Amino acid sequence: MKRLFSLLSVLTAILLAYGLYQALVAAPTERTMGDVQRIFYYHVPSAWTAFLLFFTNLIASIIYLVNKNVKADALAVSSAEVGVVFCTVVLVTGPIWARPVWGIWWTWDVRLTTTLVLWLIYVAYLMLRRFSDRAQTPILAAVLAIFGALDVPLVYFSIWFFRTQHPQPVMGKGGSLDPRMLHALLINWLAFSCFAILVCWSRYRLEMLHHEIDEAHAMESLAGASTPAASLPLNRSPR
Amino acid sequence: VNSLFAITLSTLKKDIRLEWRSKDALNSMLFFSLLVVVIFSFSFDPTAEESRQIAGGLVWVAFLFAAVVALNQTWAREVRNQVLDAYRVSPAPANSLFLAKALGNFIFVVLLEALMTPLFIVFYNLRALGPAWQLIPVGILGTWALVVNGTFFAALSLRTRSREIMLPLLLFPISIPAIQGMVEATRILLAGDGSARFWIVLLLTYDVVFTTACLALFETVLQAE
């Protein structure tokens, strides 16, 4: 497991470096937008990665509600945290691109607004985790994740009813994207996904370690040993 | 089904009787939304013709904030007197407790709206240019949308630190489509441009989806320990 982790780290580093080269040097400059279009190679892969992570969070939450498996909850919290980071990258890079191209930083278009609401829901999710009792956190958070997932399609449809301004997705329609651009985009997506998996993995291991420490403390106090508050892990308040 | 109905009814009756004697929630909601109405009127010219365009948003934001005041009190009494613990060990279905609480909040918020709407009409010089009767389904569906999730999230944030602030933090992001639905529908009906049908259908969908979700998951939340 440890070797696989190092292997993935090396692979991620290589892919990120290659992706950077592809995005900034190899991909041709867009005719009308110029160099600012290159932000696309970071914006879109971040968005896909964030959506993938939020989806992972939903699946892990459902699994947790079904079988109360600690591992599922650890996966849920790590994917939500990393997902919020990637979603923040999307929301920051978007306006940087939009300002010179659209002339405005932000517009209340369907994709932008849905992404923002998704971000808000997951920030609320993380706050609930932070503020709730340690023993109930996993259940309450899993329930909220399901509510969030039910909400997103409704948000999408309610805003879709207004006209949309975001560039139509280039994938699937075909033809409009230069193959070298597509190559850079896919390489970056691969690199970002590897990076996300790597960070999630570390976070997952940290969460499982926290869990082990909590359990050890509980066992210790059951055995009638000294007070367990002596060495609490980071970020954990005494119960 | 019969016992579920009976327990819901008796819990609801108890809540209404308690509220009738103290009028805590209703009074605080009323005064709170009155303050919102007055403070909003200082931030723009309330009688201008353009304010008709934003009046829908204004009314609903005032009701939303006021509803949170009441929703925060929903479970406080039950926690204080260990009613929830008793409920957990009793064989009564959890959903009847939830339904009673949600219906109780619904009645209180509808009452608040009935009392506040005339005030809005007077202060903001409102007159519906569209079919005004449609404001009734919009009001009922919109209020239920706020109240059903609000009651649920109030239960969810019961055992969190700083519980009072946790409720709006959870409720507002999830309520965004519902708020957009009621605001747009009200704006269309007040300004009389177009049909509000899409927004009413959206509100109805929202209500059905989240009522189902609340009923499916409330027992899990109540028993979370």
Per the CB < 8 Å rule, is B202 touching A146?
no
Per the CB < 8 Å rule, is B160 touching A131?
yes
Considering only CA atoms, which of A24, A179, A149 is closest in space to residue A141? A149
Chain A CB contacts of B198 below 8 Å: 161
- What region, left, alpha or beta, does residue B125 occupy, with left being phi > 0 and alpha being psi -120 to 50 degrees? left
Is residue A213 within 8 A of residue A233, CB to CB? The reply is yes
Question: Which helix or strand (DSSP H or E) is residue B190 part of?
Answer: helix B163-191
Chain B CB contacts of A151 below 8 Å: 173-174, 176-177
Per the CB < 8 Å rule, is B224 touching A136?
yes
Per the CB < 8 Å rule, is B160 touching A133?
yes
Q: In this complex, which of A121, A132, A151 lies closest to B159 when CB atoms are compared? A: A132
Q: How far apart are CA B37 and CA A93, in angstroms?
A: 38
Task: For A101-142, write each residue's pLDDT tens digit.
Answer: 888 888 877 888 889 999 999 999 999 999 888 788 899 999
Q: How far apart are CA A53 and CA A87, in angstroms?
A: 10
**A·B CB contacts under 8 A:** 80
For the record, the structure tokens of B215 come out as 């009923």
Per the CB < 8 Å rule, is A139 touching B174?
no
Angle between helices B163-191 and A137-160 (to 10 degrees): 20
Nearest CA distance, B85 vs chain A (angstrom): 15
A157 close to B (CB below 8 A): yes
Nearest CA distance, B123 vs chain A (angstrom): 30
Cα nearest neighbour of B170 on chain A: A124
CA dihedral (B210, B214, B216, B220) in degrees, to 10, reads 150
Q: Where does chain B show beta strands of DSSP type E?
A: none
Per the CB < 8 Å rule, is B220 touching A154?
no
Q: What percent of chain A has pLDDT over 70?
A: 87
Is the pLDDT score of A214 beyond 70?
A: yes
Cα nearest neighbour of A154 on chain B: B177
Q: How far apart are CA B131 and CA B55, in angstroms?
A: 16
Task: Identify the burial level of A12 via C-beta atoms within 10 angstroms of its C-beta, where 0-12 means exposed, 13-18 middle and 19 or more buried.
Answer: buried
Chain B CB contacts of A152 below 8 Å: none
For the record, the structure tokens of A105 come out as 């930083």
User: Residues with Cβ < 8 Å from A235, sequence gap 6 or more?
Assistant: none
For the record, the structure tokens of B118 come out as 């005339």
Q: How far apart are CA A149 and CA A173, in angstroms?
A: 27
Chain B CB contacts of A136 below 8 Å: 159, 224-225
Q: How far apart are CA B154 and CA A152, in angstroms?
A: 21
With H, G, I as helix, E, B as strand and everything else as coil, classify residue A30.
Answer: strand
Q: Check residue A165 and give its pLDDT.
A: 55
Per the CB < 8 Å rule, is B198 touching A127?
no
Cα–Cα separations (whole angstroms), residue B225 to A136, A138, B187, B222: 6, 10, 44, 8
Task: For A71-87, write each residue's pLDDT tens digit.
Answer: 999 999 999 999 999 99
State how far Cα A219 lies from the chain centre: 34
Per the CB < 8 Å rule, is A128 touching B174?
no
Task: Give buried/exposed letters for B116-134 (b at 16+ CB in 10 A, else e).
Answer: beeebeeebebebebeeeb
Per the CB < 8 Å rule, is A139 touching B220?
yes
Per the CB < 8 Å rule, is B220 touching A65?
yes
Per the CB < 8 Å rule, is A155 touching B149?
no
A162 close to B (CB below 8 A): no
User: Bridge-partner residues for B160, per DSSP?
Assistant: A132
Task: For A159-171, write each residue's pLDDT tens digit.
Answer: 877 555 556 555 4
List residues of B whose CB lies inside 8 A of any A CB.
Answer: 149, 156-157, 159-162, 166, 169-170, 172-174, 176-177, 180-181, 198, 202, 205-206, 209-210, 213, 217, 220-221, 224-225
Task: For A173-202, write each residue's pLDDT tens digit.
Answer: 445 677 888 888 899 999 999 999 999 999
Q: Check residue B121 and give its pLDDT.
A: 84
Nearest CA distance, A58 vs chain B (angstrom): 15
Q: Check residue A169 and give its pLDDT.
A: 56
Is residue A57 within 8 A of residue A79, CB to CB? The reply is yes
User: Residues with Cβ < 8 Å from A229, sequence gap 6 or more?
Assistant: A238
Cα–Cα separations (whole angstroms), residue B150 to A8, A63, A143: 44, 25, 14
Q: What average pLDDT score do residues A90-98 get? A: 90
Q: What average pLDDT score do residues A207-233 get? A: 76
Q: How far apart are CA B154 and CA B137, in angstroms?
A: 25
User: What average pLDDT values come out for chain B (225 residues) when binned by 10 residues?
Assistant: 83 88 87 86 73 81 89 84 84 88 93 89 80 89 94 88 87 92 88 84 94 93 80
Question: Which helix or strand (DSSP H or E) is residue B12 part of?
Answer: helix B2-22
Is residue A132 within 8 A of residue A140, CB to CB? The reply is yes
